[in-house]
Each structure stands twice: as C-alpha cells, then as structure tokens.
Amino acid sequence: MDRKIVISAQNLKKHYFISKGLFSFLQKREKNNIITVLNGINLEIDKGEILGIIGRNGSGKSTLLKVLSGVTSPSGGKAIINGKIVSAIEVAGGFNPDLNALENIRLLGRIWGVSTKEIHKLESDIINFSRLKEFIYLPVKKFSTGMVGRLAASIIIYIKADIYLFDEVLNGSDQLFKRQLHNKILNLQSNGSTILFATHNATDVLALCNRVILIDSGKIIFNGNAFKGIIQYRKLIQADLSKLILSQPIVNINNVKSNNISFNHIKMISTGECHQLSLTLLAAPGFYSQGTVHIIINNAFDIPVGHTSFFMEKIPEKCNLSCNFPLTLLTDGIYTISLAASLIPEKWMFFPRILEFEIKTNIKQQNDFIPGISLTQAKWNISC
Amino acid sequence: MIVIIDSSKNQSIAAYLKKLWCYRNLILIFAYRNIQGKIAQTRLGIFIILLQAIILTLVFGFFISRFITFLVSYPYLLFAVTGMMAWYIFSYIATFSGTSIMQNRQIASKIYFPRIILPFSYGLSVLLDFTGWLIVLTALLIYYGIMPSYNFWAFFLFLIIDVITGLAVGLWIALLSIKNRDVALFAPLIIGIGMFFTPVFYPVKVLPEYLADILYFNPLACVVEGFRWSLFNSPFDIRFLWGFLIILLLFITSVFFFVKKDGNMADNI
C-alpha cells in the first residue's frame, strides 16, 4: 500500500512581535520584543492517522493548528495540505452568542462551506449527537462551557472533510460525550479521514491516538508511539511536578485536636522487590473507636492502580504502622502514594499525593512503556 | 484540493482575490448574520430597521424643519430626506465595517476565510436599511405628487458610490485599528463631524464660494448632490466627481493593504 501524505510541514516558524507604548512603531524588531512560538516544525502526517499533539500550556500546540488551518500565516517555512480541512480551535470559536444553537449550526456550517441543503440533512444528527435537543432555541450565550464545547465539536465532526483539527475540544465535557466523540473520531478514521488532536489530557491521547508529537517551546521533541510520548511528556514536566508533591509538612499537622487524626513521619524504603512504607499515626483520644488505613498507589496520570488496606479495631493515641508491599506487578514509571483513612464514627480522611517513587525494572519486553499493571502470570499461545 | 501555506510576505493580491471569489457566498451569509444579530431579541424583528428611517423622517418633518428650512425648488423635506438617506448609508457602513474585524474576532481568529469579507458584508446588509429609506422616500414622493426625473437610473449608480465610500472609510478604520484601537474609538466622532461638511441639510449655494470649492473633494457631497440630481433634476456640478476619484483611490489602497495585512490579522485582534 502506498503512503499518502496529507499534511507536510517544512521548517514552520511563527514569531510574535510585542509592541509597547505610543511610539511602538519606531521600535526595532529586536530579540527582546520577539516571541518565538513555533521554531522550525517539520512534520509529515499520513492519511488516516490520528495524531495527538501534546505539550505544556503555551508550547505552541494551538498555534501550530492555527497555522495549519490557515487562520494565521507562518513567519517562515511552508506547509502543504492535501485535502479539505475543518478545525475546532479554542472550542467556542465562531459562535454568535446572540443567535440560538440551531441558527449557529446553520451559520457555522455555511462558513465551512456546507450547502444549505446538506446542513438541513445534518441538523438532526448534530443535535442528537450533542444531546442539546431541549436547548436548540436558546441563545448560545446562555450555554455552559461544556455545552458550547459539545455543540462546536458536534458541528465539526459532521462536516465532511479530509482533515479534522481538534484543539482542546473535550475541555469541560462529561465522560459520556467524551466517549461519544472518541467513537466518532475512530469512525472518521476508518473512513479515511485524518485527525489531529491537541490536548494535554493523557487519557484522551491514550484512548485515541496512534502517534503523538510532543511540542516544547516551539519544537517537536518527540514523535512516535503514544505511550512513549506520554511518558516523555511526563518526564518533561517531572522536575516541576515533583516540587508539587504534598510532602510531610502538610500531613504533619501538629494540632491533632482539631483534626482528630494525623499521619507523621512518612517514609518509604525500597528493598529490592519489596517496598516498605512506615508512618506514625496520631489520634485524639476517645474520638474514633475503630478505622481502616488505606495506602493508594497512583500512576503518572493520577489514576489509582493499586491499594492496600489495614483494619484497626482500636485506634491508639499514637502508634507506628508499617506496610511491606511487593511492586513487581507495576511497570516502569513514576508513581505517587496517597493515604486515606475511613473511621468510625463515620469520617473519611484523604491525603493525596504525599510521596513519589519511581520503579525501574530490567525486564526487556517493556521498552514500549505501556503503563499499568504488567500481568506476569499471563500465558501466551501461538499457533500458525 | 491542495493548499499551500506560506508566510504572508509571499502572498499575492491576485491569489487573494481568487480566494475571495471562492468564498463569495460567505459575504451573503455574513450579511444575513449582521441583520440577524441586529434584530436578535427584538419584538419588532425586521421592522425595527424600517422604523428607524420612518421615525427619523417624522421627527425631522414635524419638528426640526419648522425652525430650519432652506429654499429649494422642491419641498425641503424631500431635500433633507435624500441627504439623510445618503448620510445614513455611508455612516452605517463606515462605522460597522470599521469595527467588523474587532466585533467578529471570535470567528476571525479561529476559522480561516478571507477576512475582507467581514467589512464587505456590511455593504450588503445596508440594503435592508436602504429599503426602509426607499419606502419613506416613495411615500413622500407620492404625498407631494412628484415624479422622479428622467435621470432616475443614476440613482443606483450614486448608491454604489455611497456604498464604496462607506467601505473605503470603513476598511481604513479597520486597518488602522487592528493593533491599536485608538482610531476605532475616534472614528464615530470624526464621522459625526463630517456630516456638517456635507450638504445634508443645507444646499451648496448658501455657502460662500471658497467653501463650496472644498466641498467638491468631499465624496459624500457628490453622492448627496447626485441623489438630488437623479430624483429631482436639481443642478449637479460635474466637479463633484473629484470626490469620487478620491474615494476610488482610497478604496483601492485600502483593499491592497487589507490583503497584505490579512495573514497576520488573527494574531493582533
């Protein structure tokens, strides 16, 4: 099968000039009043790909999509686009807040070059897909953020095109719509459309994309498999993230009386295959009769992947707890630990992300960096 | 369909105009949207636009013309209404197209289309307001029992000049206010003052010679006098066409610079 490239970008650049003051036009375009947003992007996208674009806020994701969709011209470089492009950039773009949803569907459809006849056919589909049937005669300005996003994404997805650009369309949408849109995007892909999906939500990338590019300060620093890309992204922000771990001082609340219970001296020791977590529990006397202490292990995307609980029939004023747990099931990566306690009389206490640790194994098969639990006990069969 | 995205320096005017032709339907759509947006949340709907012309005429006819009148060869109210009509069309287009990029930045910074369509669309949506004035004018003509002169065909020619004048001024306002809003804020004031330098309410002949000479360079004076000439066969000085030449120059330069600026417009609005 021959390869068909739908988007090819060569050395795309984009600068912004900042001007200040009354006589700004006299300013020279020097280095200190130039912001480089895209700094030489080279990219080739095949037909039928779902490409995820990840990166931090302000790294140039949206600008890249804006340049590719033609909204703004690049300052340098060139891009060749083979096919009709539609884009949902910064979600609510293009809606007239005074018009109602139905009028906006018609208007946006026309702007994207859909004929009136076709729009009439698509209207009911779009309304059903966005689940906004009760609200179609309401001005869009009265919509919530999630509803606006839903409407925008639904319109774009029903317009026939070769290339779809989505920029943070799922911000503020609920789980149900997320799933709906994911399915629809996969559907479009199987019909031969190409999808570019910019987001900083790891779950969207992992649920959809077969390739990911990671952009940082205007450059592509990773291009490849989505799982690896996510890990790279995580590594990029790791240094800053580690600083934000809620370390002991926050848990170590001296005033036990008002808080009734607290965890102190939390420590983690790794000994080969086993990890030991130890902590001191302080409780106000006579408050709680019994309770359970939970240790929750979250993966790099703050999703719980494992937990262990310990039931205590009587809660003493002060005690030392320690827990040994094997972590052979987890794959390489960075994990965080949260502590929780459910107490009687009824009270739920939760201390999120108090510790961070990294697992490094030497198992060979794991060079694809697929996150989650590795099922070492699974048995494979091959028959030809 | 293959699109090549290139830096804005390398874009030619011809290619832009070609694209504009591909997107020509959009002018109609935006014009429709302008009207829709204007009448949104009104009870009277489309009639509110027609009412504007009627109310303005009634107020002028019953109150103002009792205190200020000039002697012309046909009823003074007709004289004033043709003037107001030309002025209204011009100021509507100039004001709205001047701020159109700013008003529609939501759409202009997110979807690609030749952005000159936005100001142009007001040149089309003004036709509804024009209809309102036309109704008033027809009613007055019937009331006074006056038949329009044989030059009637030229009326629409001057209407086109009126629209082009509005667009040229509007495009320049839009161009100058992409980055800095100063011009956009002063524009309504300056347009308002401009009315006194246009023979809307007074005939040219009441002015001293040297002032009348300046008026020849006012494109709006050309339109106003043109309207009156085509309807009532009042004298039309050919020197008024100087104004038309000036506005043609302004219009062409504004389109030229607008095309040049379009590529990076989304960054600044």
The pLDDT tens digits of the residues spanning A313-371 come to 888 888 888 888 876 777 777 888 888 888 887 888 888 888 888 777 666 555 566 77
Q: Cβ contact (<8 Å) for B29 and A68?
A: no
In a domain, B13, yes or no: no
- The pLDDT, as a whole number, for residue B133 is 92
With a cut of 50, say whether residue A306 has pLDDT above it. Answer: yes
The residue among B122, B110, B124, B114 whose CA lies nearest residue B20 is: B114
Task: Confirm or reject contact between A118 and chain B (CB < 8 A).
Answer: no
| β-pair type (A85-88, A194-198) | unpaired
> How close does chain B come to A210, measured CA to CA in Å?
25
Range of the domain at A222: 5-242
Q: Cβ contact (<8 Å) for B8 and A73?
A: yes
The pLDDT tens digits of the residues spanning A239-249 come to 777 776 655 44
| β-pair type (A85-88, A163-167) | parallel
* Calpha distance A326→A272 (Å, rounded): 9
Residues A279 and A236 in one domain: no
User: Which residues of A are less than 8 Å from B267 in CB distance?
Assistant: 16, 72
Residues A77 and A225 in one domain: yes
Residues A268 and A192 in one domain: no
Structure tokens given for A135: 């609200």
In a domain, A375, yes or no: no
Q: What is the mean pLDDT of each run of 10 residues along chain B (269 residues)?
A: 75 85 88 84 82 86 79 84 92 92 84 90 92 91 87 90 94 88 87 88 84 85 90 83 90 91 81
Among B4, B5, B106, the residue with its CB nearest the CB of A94 is B106
In a domain, A72, yes or no: yes
- The pLDDT, as a whole number, for residue A272 is 66
In a domain, A67, yes or no: yes
In a domain, B5, yes or no: no
Residues A203 and A218 in one domain: yes
Burial class (CB in 10 A: 0-12, 13-18, 19+), A225: middle
From residue A342, how far is each of A334, B162, B212 by CA, in Å?
Answer: 27, 78, 91
The pLDDT tens digits of the residues spanning A131-143 come to 888 998 988 888 8
User: Which residues of A are less than 8 Å from B265 in CB distance?
Assistant: 72
Q: Look-up: residue for tokens 């005939």?
A: B203
Sign of CA dihedral B36, B38, B41, B43: negative
Q: Cβ contact (<8 Å) for A70 and B110?
A: no
Non-local (6+) Cβ contacts of A140 within 8 A are A95, A96, A97, A98, A99, A100, A101, A104, A148, A151
Nearest 5°: phi and psi at A106?
A: -65, -45
* Calpha distance A186→B30 (Å, rounded): 33
If one counts the domains in chain B, the total is 1
- The pLDDT, as a whole number, for residue B119 is 93
* Calpha distance A199→B7 (Å, rounded): 26
* Calpha distance B76→A196 (Å, rounded): 65
Task: For residues A78-93, give the mean pLDDT.
Answer: 82
In a domain, A146, yes or no: yes
User: The domain that contains A352 carries what CATH number?
Assistant: 2.60.40.2550
Residues A178 and A278 in one domain: no
> How close does chain A come to B176, measured CA to CA in Å?
13
Residues A237 and A256 in one domain: no
Q: How far is CA A117 from the centre of its chain?
A: 37
Q: Where are the alpha helices (DSSP H) in B104-153?
A: 105-108, 117-144
> How close does chain A come to B122, measured CA to CA in Å?
16
Q: pLDDT category, A2, cuts 50, 70, 90?
A: low
If one counts the domains in chain A, the total is 2
Sign of CA dihedral A275, A280, A283, A285: positive
Residues A217 and A255 in one domain: no
| Amino acid at the residue A384 | C
Task: Confirm or reject contact between A267 and chain B (CB < 8 A).
Answer: no
In a domain, B3, yes or no: no
Half-sphere exposure of B65 (CA within 13 A, CB side): 17
More confident position, A24 or A298: A298
Residues A216 and A137 in one domain: yes
CB atoms near residue A177 (< 10 Å): 21
**Residues A371-384: b if buried by 16+ CB within 10 A, e if exposed:** beebeeeeeeeeee
* Calpha distance B199→B220 (Å, rounded): 8
Task: Confirm or reject contact between A241 and chain B (CB < 8 A).
Answer: no
* Calpha distance A116→A118 (Å, rounded): 5
Among A76, A77, A89, the residue with its CB nearest the CB of B110 is A89
* Calpha distance A87→A69 (Å, rounded): 7
In a domain, A374, yes or no: no
In a domain, B8, yes or no: no
Q: Cβ contact (<8 Å) for B33 and A107?
A: yes
Q: Cβ contact (<8 Å) for B2 and A81?
A: yes
Range of the domain at B148: 19-268
Give the least confident one: A64-73, A149-158, A200-209. A200-209
With a cut of 80, say whether residue A287 has pLDDT above it. Answer: no
> How close does chain B come to A12, measured CA to CA in Å?
9
User: The domain that contains A182 carries what CATH number?
Assistant: 3.40.50.300
In a domain, A271, yes or no: yes
Residues A102 and A207 in one domain: yes
Non-local (6+) Cβ contacts of B4 within 8 A are A78, A79, A80, A81
| Amino acid at the residue B89 | I
In a domain, B162, yes or no: yes
Mean pLDDT of all residues belonging to chain B: 87
Task: For residues A285-310, give the mean pLDDT.
Answer: 85
Nearest 5°: phi and psi at A334?
A: -105, 135
Residues A307 and A335 in one domain: yes
More confident position, A243 or A120: A120
In a domain, A360, yes or no: yes
Residues A56 and A198 in one domain: yes
With a cut of 80, say whether residue A198 has pLDDT above it. Answer: yes
Report DSSP state, residue B224. H
Q: Cβ contact (<8 Å) for B111 and A99?
A: no
Q: pLDDT category, A252, cuts 50, 70, 90?
A: very low
More confident position, A271 or A382: A382
Half-sphere exposure of A194 (CA within 13 A, CB side): 20
* Calpha distance B182→B1 (Å, rounded): 41
In a domain, A326, yes or no: yes
Question: Chain A to chain B, count of Cβ pairs less than 8 Å apart?
Answer: 94
Residues A262 and A194 in one domain: no
* Calpha distance B9→A356 (Å, rounded): 51
